[in-house]
Structures are given as structure tokens and as C-alpha cells.
């Protein structure tokens, strides 16, 4: 297929879907009555994940056109290109190979085989370093073992490991605490450091580029804190600092000892980096074996994505629903509601994954798009969300597709609590779909119903299943990008603000480029400085 001329909205499937959308009158409850196999038809299972998407605003005819849309897109070719290391991130001239990080062995030849060997070496280093820290043989300058690890990083260098350490808290080391500092808000950093013993603290500066302003500023402050409290000149040369980066030159310039630099390759995108050395904090917290299980689970999802037919492919199903809602029904947001407190950071994580990847308005060839792309991703855990924003979901003026996510078993909970949690989730999905009519004199009691949702049930929140869950959403985002014909792997949209902020921080000279409103805000803030 010649993908250079692909325009999804010129395909027959797209046009059929536009017609379906214009005359849409799907009553989901009615669809269950007329299609006795609806729930089997619209569900898919792989390994320990089961996805039911039968409560969505689709019928068999719409689904057939969505499947045709996927089949007529460059998806299959792009998938092959991604897994084989072609430079599909064209604007940065880079391959996209986070899937290689999840492989132990392979039949790769040539370049991929060499890359896999490098990945294996990097994994060995993650294992060696994390084992030493966990066993107490990685010592600070006073000869004491590490009790606190502070991961300083932002975006993908923060969200992935932070989410994973929370999700896998069941396996966390009994005497080593992991802290995450993302924001350049000094109050957060200082209050974290003030509770720690510098002799027993390890700082990890996690930055793919080793250039990010927030991370370097936080790193510098942490180094000064070590310098003062340990009374040493160059804390960055000691075992109190590890750098994780794809730019070892910058880490060396920063003064980090070569043996304390954990590398990964530039073909690992920031938001896909928890599988790389960026995952060192996961391995320190949960142990290397759990980290490895996480990779195995993600690899199993890769295999499912590669080999399952499009009609029974979990990431494809989630992506097609998203494309249907965004581009055809013009629903602008999508909620992620895990019924599991350990997944409380999942909505933020998926926000970066989806919105940084597919928040684009030009095609891969640089042409403007005339259809909406990524929805706004938001959410929080149930049942907490039920007492905050579910009112709007049931009776507001917006229709919000939802992904409910839960573990069937939770050994950390009690059977009673877990039953209450899961019952709440299932009840919400059903209530949102069924609604409830009310007497016209009591319309405040009316629930319109027909609100779409999908439900993902995971056998249990093991490290392996957690890996599969994240890989599922990565591939979902990839499929969306293939259908929308956008480059999901760059993020040029964050550059302008970064450059302007850097200018404001470093020199008053560049203020001349600012608009009158921003200049007046800047002047106001400066005048109020205590
Ligand atoms: O926000 C842009 C971005 O490049 C993200 O993609 C990335 O995860 C984050 O900044 C941090 O970048 P780095 O790891 O290079 O510090």
C-alpha cells in the first residue's frame, strides 16, 4: 500500500461512518434485545485481560465499517515498520522501538539483533544496580545503605515509573522508599528532601535528553542539599547520584561518574520509556524480577497486537471506539476510571500517552487535518469519582465515553471491600447505559442513559498484567495515529512554551518578544516579590 497518499476521510469506510453518525439513533439497551450475541460479539480476551465494549454506541453495521476503516488504513504496514525498526518518527528521523525493550530473545538479524544485545546489557545494568541498592550493598559516603531514592524527572521520565511504583506497591521493598519529584516547584522538592537523611539518600536524575530545565534545576538543588549536608564538594561524583539518560555526554558534563550512568537509546520515546533504564526506580522498589515480569506482560500484549486478527484485537477495538467518538460523533473527552486505588495515576499517565502522541492537527505528510483527533483524556479512580463528577456523566449535557478498569481479585483488599468496589463499577456502567425515566414534574430524577462505556477486567494486578495493561493503551494510541495518518511519536507542540520559559528564566533581554498582557503579568509578579 502506498501510504503517502492515504487520507482516511477519502475512504469509503470513512464516508459510510459519517452517514452512520449523521443519522445515529443507537439505543444500546435496545441493541441488546435485538442482538442476543451482542456481548460476545463486542468483547475480546487475551491472556489475563478481558474487555467488554458492548455498552458502546455501535451496532454490527457501524463496527463493520470501523473494521474496514482499520483495514484500509496503513495500520498493518506501520505495525510491521514499527516492530522492525523503520524510522516511522519521520519528523525526528527516528525508529520507534520500545517493543524491543520487552523482548528477551528474538530471531532478529542484523541491526535489530545488535540493538537487542545492547538492550540486554542495559537490563543487566538495571539488575546489577537495583540488586545492590536493595541488598544494602550500595553505600553512601558515610558507608550507610540507601533508604530513600528520589527520582527527579518530568513527563515520561516521571509518570511511568511513578505509576508503576504505585501500582506494584504490593511488592515494594520494606525499607527503601521511592519519592518522585516532577515539578520545578521548589516547595515540593525541599519538603521532600527535608524529611530525608542525606547519608542514606540516592538521587536519580532521569532525563532522556539531560537538557530539561525543570529536571536540571531540581537536580542542582538536590546536589546543593547533598553538598551542604554531607560536607562534600562534588556530590555528583559519588554514589548518591545516578543519571538515566539517552544523552550520556550531557550526564558526564554534569559530573556524573561514568559507572553511574544508565543509558537507553534515542529510539525510546519519552512517554514509552518506563520499559528502559528509566524504569530503574521500579526495579529498586519492586525488585528486578517484577520489573522483568512487567516487560514480559507487555511483550505478550505486543504478540497479541501483532498476531490477533483485526476483528479480535484488543488495542484495535479500543482505538476504533476512540476514532468513532472523536472523529465522527465529535465527543471531545474520554474518561479513564480505574476501580483500583493503586491505579490512581493511570489517568494522568494515559493523558500524556494519548494527548502528547495524538494531539496533532497535521498529517504525516504535513497537510492540515479536517477531522478531530485525540480526545481530551481525564479521570480518576472510582468510587471517589462517583462522589465528584459522576453527576455530570449521568445528567449533564456532555456525553463522555468511559473506560472502566478493575482487577477481578485483590489480595491486598478484603473480600467485602473488593465486592463493594466491583459492584459499584458494574452498577455505574449499567446505570449509565440504562438510565431511568421520571415523571415530567420531576425531571431532576431523569437519567437519560445510553452513555457509552467499555469495561476492562484484569485477573489480578500482577506486574505482568500491569505491563500488558500499559502496552494495550500504547498500541491503542498507535492504531489511532495510523488511522488518523498522524505522527504519534513526536511532540513539537511543547517546544514553543519551553523556549519562552527558558528565555524568561535566563535573561531579561528576551522579554522584548512577549505580548503586553504577559509583560504586565511578569511586571506585577516581580513587583510583588517579597
Ligand atoms: O514534554 C516534552 C517531553 O519531551 C516529554 O516527551 C518527555 O517525557 C519530557 O519532556 C521529559 O523529557 P526528558 O526525559 O528529556 O527530560
Q: Assess whether 427 and 455 both reside in one domain.
A: yes
Residue 260 CA to ligand 1 center (angstroms) comes to 21
Q: Assess whether 426 and 400 both reside in one domain.
A: yes
The torsion of the CA quartet 267, 272, 277, 282, rounded to 10 degrees, works out to -170
Say how far residue 222 (Cα) sits from the centre of its chain. 27
Q: Assess whether 383 and 419 both reside in one domain.
A: yes
Q: Is residue 429 a part of any domain in this protein?
A: yes
Q: Assess whether 211 and 259 both reside in one domain.
A: yes
Which atom of ligand 1 is the closest one to the Cα of 157? 14
Best probe residue, ligand 1, of 154, 162, 352 (max atoms within 8 Å of C-beta): 154
pLDDT, block means (10 residues), the chain with 530 residues: 82 97 95 97 97 98 98 97 96 96 82 93 98 98 97 98 98 98 98 98 98 96 98 97 98 97 97 98 98 98 98 98 98 98 98 98 94 97 97 98 98 98 98 97 97 98 98 98 97 87 69 86 91
Q: Is residue 393 a part of any domain in this protein?
A: yes
Burial of residue 4 (CB within 10 Å: 0-12, 13-18, 19+) is exposed
Q: Assess whether 275 and 379 both reside in one domain.
A: no
Best probe residue, ligand 1, of 160, 244, 270 (max atoms within 8 Å of C-beta): 270
Question: Residue 507: its pLDDT value, please?
Answer: 60
Name the domain boundary from 262, 291, 320.
Answer: 291
The pair phi, psi for residue 337, each rounded to 5°, is: -125, 95
Q: Assess whether 123 and 242 both reside in one domain.
A: yes
Question: Residue 110: its pLDDT value, please?
Answer: 80
Best probe residue, ligand 1, of 151, 159, 160, 212 (max atoms within 8 Å of C-beta): 212
Question: 377 is in which domain, residue-wise?
Answer: 3-72+308-437+448-490
User: 336 forms bridges with which residues in the sheet?
Assistant: 403
| Dihedral angle sign, alpha carbons of residues 269, 270, 272, 274 | positive
Q: Assess whether 206 and 319 both reside in one domain.
A: no
Residue 526 CA to ligand 1 center (angstroms) comes to 29
The count of structural domains within the chain is 3
The residues annotated with a catalytic role in the active site are 356, 387, 498
Question: Residue 375: its pLDDT value, please?
Answer: 98
- Judge whether 225 and 198 are in contact, CB under 8 Å: yes
Could you tell me the three cell numbers for 512? 522584548
Q: Is residue 150 a part of any domain in this protein?
A: yes
Q: Is residue 397 a part of any domain in this protein?
A: yes
The pair phi, psi for residue 179, each rounded to 5°, is: -115, 150
Ligand 1 and 209: CB distance under 6 A = yes
Residue 304 CA to ligand 1 center (angstroms) comes to 29
Q: CA-to-CA distance for 259 and 255, rounded, in angstroms?
A: 12
Name the domain boundary from 266, 291, 316.
Answer: 291
Q: Assess whether 503 and 485 both reside in one domain.
A: no
Which atom of ligand 1 is the closest one to the Cα of 206? 14
Say how far residue 447 (Cα) sits from the centre of its chain. 33
Q: Assess whether 253 and 327 both reside in one domain.
A: no
Residue 299 CA to ligand 1 center (angstroms) comes to 24
For residue 274, cis peptide bond before it (omega within 30 degrees of 0): no
Q: Is residue 77 a part of any domain in this protein?
A: no
Q: CA-to-CA distance for 505 and 184, rounded, in angstroms?
A: 12
Q: Is residue 94 a part of any domain in this protein?
A: no
Q: Assess whether 136 and 266 both reside in one domain.
A: yes
Could you tell me the three cell numbers for 505? 528564566
**pTM greater than 0.85:** yes
Name the domain boundary from 260, 291, 322.
Answer: 291
Q: Is residue 89 a part of any domain in this protein?
A: no
Ligand 1 and 208: CB distance under 6 A = yes
- Judge whether 477 and 467 are in contact, CB under 8 Å: no
Ligand 1 and 154: CB distance under 6 A = yes
Half-sphere exposure of 4 (CA within 13 A, CB side): 1
Question: Residue 1: its pLDDT value, please?
Answer: 61
| Dihedral angle sign, alpha carbons of residues 391, 392, 393, 396 | positive
Ligand 1 and 491: CB distance under 6 A = yes
Q: Assess whether 361 and 458 both reside in one domain.
A: yes
Q: Assess whether 316 and 465 both reside in one domain.
A: yes
Residue 250 CA to ligand 1 center (angstroms) comes to 15
10 Å Cβ neighbour count for 341? 17
Question: Residue 4: its pLDDT value, please?
Answer: 73
Amino acid at each position: 500500500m502506498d501510504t503517502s497518499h492515504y487520507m482516511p476521510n477519502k475512504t469509503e469506510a470513512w464516508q459510510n461512518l459519517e452517514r452512520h453518525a449523521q443519522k445515529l439513533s443507537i439505543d444500546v439497551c435496545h441493541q441488546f434485545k435485538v442482538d442476543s450475541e451482542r456481548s460476545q460479539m463486542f468483547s475480546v480476551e487475551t491472556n489475563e485481560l478481558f474487555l467488554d465494549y458492548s455498552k458502546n454506541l455501535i451496532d454490527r453495521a457501524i463496527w463493520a465499517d470501523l473494521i474496514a476503516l482499520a483495514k484500509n488504513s496503513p495500520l498493518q504496514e506501520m505495525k510491521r515498520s514499527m516492530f522492525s525498526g523503520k524510522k516511522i518518527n519521520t519528523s525526528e528521523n527516528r525508529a520507534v522501538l520500545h517493543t524491543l525493550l520487552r523482548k528477551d530473545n528474538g530471531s532478529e538479524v542484523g541491526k535489530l539483533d545488535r540493538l537487542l544485545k545492547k538492550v540486554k546489557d542495559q537490563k543487566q545494568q538495571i539488575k546489577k544496580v537495583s540488586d545492590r541498592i536493595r541488598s544494602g550493598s550500595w553505600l553512601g559516603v558515610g558507608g550507610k545503605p540507601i533508604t530513600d531514592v528520589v527520582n527527579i524527572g518530568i513527563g515520561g521520565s516521571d509518570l511511568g515509573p511513578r505509576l508503576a511504583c504505585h501500582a506494584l506497591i504490593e511488592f515494594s521493598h520494606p525499607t527503601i522508599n521511592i519519592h518522585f519529584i516532577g515539578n520545578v516547584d521548589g516547595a515540593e522538592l525541599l519538603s521532600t528532601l527535608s524529611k530525608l537523611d542525606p547519608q542514606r539518600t540516592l538521587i536519580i536524575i532521569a532525563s532522556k535528553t539531560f537538557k530539561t530545565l525543570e529536571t536540571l534545576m531540581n537536580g542542582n538543588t538536590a546536589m546543593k542539599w547533598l553538598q551542604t549536608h554531607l560536607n562534600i564538594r562534588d556530590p555528583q561524583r559519588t554514589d548518591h547520584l545516578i543519571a538515566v539518560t539517552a544523552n550520556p555526554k550531557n550526564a558526564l558534563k554534569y559530573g556524573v561518574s561514568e559507572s553511574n550512568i544508565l543509558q537507553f537509546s534515542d529510539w525510546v520515546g519519552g512517554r514509552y520509556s518506563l520499559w528502559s533504564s528509566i524504569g530503574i526506580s521500579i526495579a529498586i522498589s519492586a525488585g528486578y524480577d517484577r520489573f522483568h515480569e512487567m516487560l514480559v506482560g507487555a511483550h505478550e500484549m505486543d504478540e497479541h497486537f501483532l498476531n490477533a486478527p483485526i476483528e479480535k484485537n484488543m488495542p484495535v477495538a479500543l482505538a476504533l471506539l476512540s476514532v468513532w467518538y472523536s472523529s465522527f460523533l465529535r465527543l471531545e473527552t474520554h474518561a479513564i476510571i480505574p476501580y483500583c486505588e493503586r491505579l490512581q495515576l493511570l489517568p494522568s499517565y494515559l493523558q500524556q500517552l494519548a494527548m502528547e502522541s495524538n494531539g496533532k492537527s497535521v498529517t504525516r505528510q504535513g497537510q492540515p487535518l479536517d477531522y478531530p483527533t485525540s480526545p481530551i483524556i481525564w479521570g480518576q479512580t472510582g468510587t471517589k469519582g462517583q462522589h465528584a463528577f459522576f453527576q455530570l456523566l449521568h445528567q449533564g449535557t456532555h456525553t463522555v465515553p468511559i473506560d472502566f478498569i478493575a482487577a477481578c481479585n485483590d489480595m491486598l483488599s478484603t473480600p467485602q471491600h473488593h465486592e463493594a468496589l466491583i459492584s459499584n463499577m458494574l452498577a455505574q456502567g449499567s446505570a449509565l447505559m440504562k438510565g431511568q425515566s421520571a415523571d415530567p414534574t420531576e425531571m431532576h430524577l431523569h437519567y437519560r442513559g445510553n452513555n457509552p462505556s467499555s469495561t476492562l477486567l484484569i485477573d489480578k494486578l500482577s506486574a505482568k498484567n500491569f505491563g500488558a495493561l500499559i502496552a494495550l493503551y500504547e498500541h491503542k494510541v498507535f492504531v489511532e495515529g495510523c488511522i488518523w495518518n498522524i505522527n504519534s511519536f513526536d511532540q513539537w507542540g511543547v517546544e514553543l512554551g519551553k523556549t519562552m520559559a527558558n528565555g524568561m528564566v535566563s535573561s531579561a533581554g528576551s522579554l522584548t518578544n512577549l505580548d503586553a498582557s504577559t509583560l504586565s503579568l511578569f511586571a506585577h509578579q516581580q513587583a510583588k516579590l517579597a
